[in-house]
Amino acid sequence: MALSDTLEEIRNAFEAGATPREDIRILDAHVEFLSASGAAEQALPEGTVAPEFAMPATTGATVTLSDLRAGGPAVLVWFRGNW
């Protein structure tokens, strides 16, 4: 199944549930904003090899990409928030 099909299934289930229409409207507005921003066009394609980096872990220790990859493949995900 293509990602777009999976996302459509998730959206349909979301809209069919008890989610208030105002919440759905707000989420739709954010999706529209992000789509118009061109952010997706700036993202690296799937399978792109990330450059080496170091960053603080939630424990305060420094972790590197090579540390993470030592245990197998690493998937990098960035969650944007309003906090």
pLDDT at 65: 94
pLDDT at 53: 93
**pLDDT, tens digit, for every residue of 26-43?**
888 988 998 898 888 887
Query: In which region does residue 60 sit, left (phi positive, over 0), alpha (psi from -120 to 50) or beta (all else)?
Result: left
- Whether 61 shows a pLDDT value over 90: the answer reads yes
For the entire predicted model, the pTM comes to 0.44
As a whole number of angstroms, the distance between CA 80 and CA 58 comes to 17
